[in-house]
A = this chain, B = another copy of it.
Amino acid sequence: MKQIEESHGPDPVGKHIDRAVLYAALEGILPDDAVLVDDEDLHPYECDGLSAYRQLPVAVTLPRTVEEVQEVMRVCHSLEVPVVARGTGTGLSGGALPLADGVVLSLARLNSILDIDPVGCTASVQPGVRNLAISEAARPYGLYYAPDPSSQIACTIGGNIAENSGGVHCLKYGLTVHNVLQLEVVTVEGERLTLGGGALDSAGYDLMALMIGSEGMLGVVVEVKVKLLPIPERAQVVLAAFDDVEKAGIAVGEIIAAGIIPAGLEMMDGPAIQAAEDFVHAGYPVNAVAMLLCEVDGSNQEVSEHILEVRELLKRCGATEVRTARDDGERLRFWQGRKSAFPAVGRISPDYYCMDGTIPRHRLPEVLKRTSELSKEYGLRVANVFHAGDGNMHPLILYDANNPGELERTEALGGKILELCVAVGGTITGEHGVGIEKINQMCVQFGEEELEQFRAVKRAFDQKQLLNPGKGVPTPRHCSEYRLLRAGDGVEGEVHPGAGEP
């Protein structure tokens, strides 16, 4: 496994911390079992879902109350020790990767559902509550929490907020930011802020939206009020096979143009279909070049009407097969295949690397074509899974970390794919965040003007750069070095679309 050899961000501020002083301070404010310092205890925290990168922290703290979180922040702030907040570590971009000179602040023990309000349709929960647990608690009231990342069994709402997570239903129901009403946040100094409110809008700057997706770099979320939605009366899914990716791409556009907003609209390519089918036997068309899953939900009548319309559209767009799930069992199997696509691919390859970029929907065919060319160029197979409705693609690069140089080649290919996304007018992250993974591509996505504004906002929350430093936003030096490197590779100029230019 690869150890990080260089810092991606600013020079760590607490490099020469006195461990004994830090341990004593932490043990003075937390119970014994809430401070981990031995290597064997620290190992489970050495990485998140981007497991190619691993690092032991100086300590892990496991506070049980908001007050304890505040105390941890006060201690670390006064000793100038960096802090990396963490949920269950399912993140895919290394946002929760520990720092060698830093403390991990695990929010796993703040895991209570504080209140379900069936009249106001809200839930107030602690950050360590799992995404799916919110919907489970709301179900008796006929309500649920909409965003459903693939990891929803395990991932926490705190982590969802850090990454602004989506899921297969985000086309209709939005990302985390669209489903959160209020946050309680502990600042780097240990103060408590209330951001947002019970209404659509709130007074003052929208610091709640700013906090969502900020990857632990602006504050530590300690309480969340989310919106709950009524469980739809009915959901139904249509599967369509295509012998051509472009036809599938056109069908996506036609469905949306018809005024139907599907609850989910997903695409998989041949390799992803085959891997998923081998794994969960969902009944997928294994010879198809591309497959769409289109789910509609709502009232019984509305769903019937939309399903008919979607079927007609798919046939007109040249689908070779159109199949409506016969019952709820088949519907769930169709989805299980999609939701298991990542582990399914894991079965056919020793390792895989999940990318996360967005593109304008209509650029899909050319992006898939170019990805396929890049795949050959780098000698690495790629399976494609795609939130087609909102243009969020997840190419999975298959590799074997035991082959010398293959991880590096995989990362290089991944970087190329992300830069391709930017070149067609897309972005380098749809829902997984930047973390350490895409810090290079931030220099491609943005001009120095935007990056400098990001840094200024960061300083407005964290003057000493103690909250998850080195993640998310690259330093000017990092970008100038990376741009030189790209220029040396023969990539000309900057790709970012128009930023900073008149």
Measuring CB to CB, which residues of chain A are less than 8 angstroms from any residue of chain B? 66-67, 70, 118-121, 142, 164, 166, 170, 174-175, 177-178, 187, 191-195, 197-207, 209-210, 212-214, 218, 230-233, 253, 256-259, 298-299, 301-302, 305-306, 358, 360-362, 390-392, 425-431, 434, 438, 441-442, 445-447, 449-451, 453-454, 456-461, 472-473, 496-502
Give me 12 other A-B pairs in contact (C-beta within 8 A), A177-B209, A192-B500, A202-B429 excluded. A194-B446, A194-B447, A199-B358, A199-B427, A203-B428, A204-B434, A205-B457, A209-B209, A230-B259, A302-B302, A456-B461, A457-B457
Residues of B within 8 A of A500 (CB): 191-194
- The reply to whether B199 and A205 contact each other, CB–CB distance below 8 Å, is no
Q: In the complex, are the beta carbons of A198 and B391 less than 8 A apart?
A: yes
Asked if B207 and A454 sit within 8 Å, CB to CB, the answer is yes
Does A253 contact B119, Cβ atoms closer than 8 Å?
A: yes
State the majority secondary structure of interface residues on A: loop
**Contact at B256–A121, with CB atoms within 8 Å?**
yes
A430 to chain B, nearest CB (A): 6
Q: Measured between alpha carbons, how far is A55 from B47 in the docked complex, in Å? A: 59
Stoichiometry, copies per complex: 2
Check if B203 sits within 8 Å of A442, measured CB to CB: yes
- Min Cβ gap A466→B in Å is 15
Give the chain B neighbours of A257 by CB distance below 8 A: 118-119, 121, 230
Instruction: Jot down 18 A-B pairs with beta carbons below 8 A, ordered by A.
Output: A120-B360, A120-B361, A120-B362, A142-B259, A175-B200, A177-B206, A187-B449, A187-B453, A193-B453, A194-B499, A197-B426, A198-B391, A201-B427, A203-B428, A203-B442, A204-B450, A206-B212, A207-B453
Residues of B within 8 A of A200 (CB): 166, 170, 174-175, 358, 390, 392, 430
State the CA gap A391–B120 with chains docked (Å).
10
Interface pair B199/A430, CB less than 8 Å apart: yes
- Bound: A209/B208 CA distance, A: 9
> Which interface residue of A67, A195, A204, A458 has the most chain B CB atoms within 10 A?
A204
- Interchain nearest-CB distance for A296 vs B (Å): 11
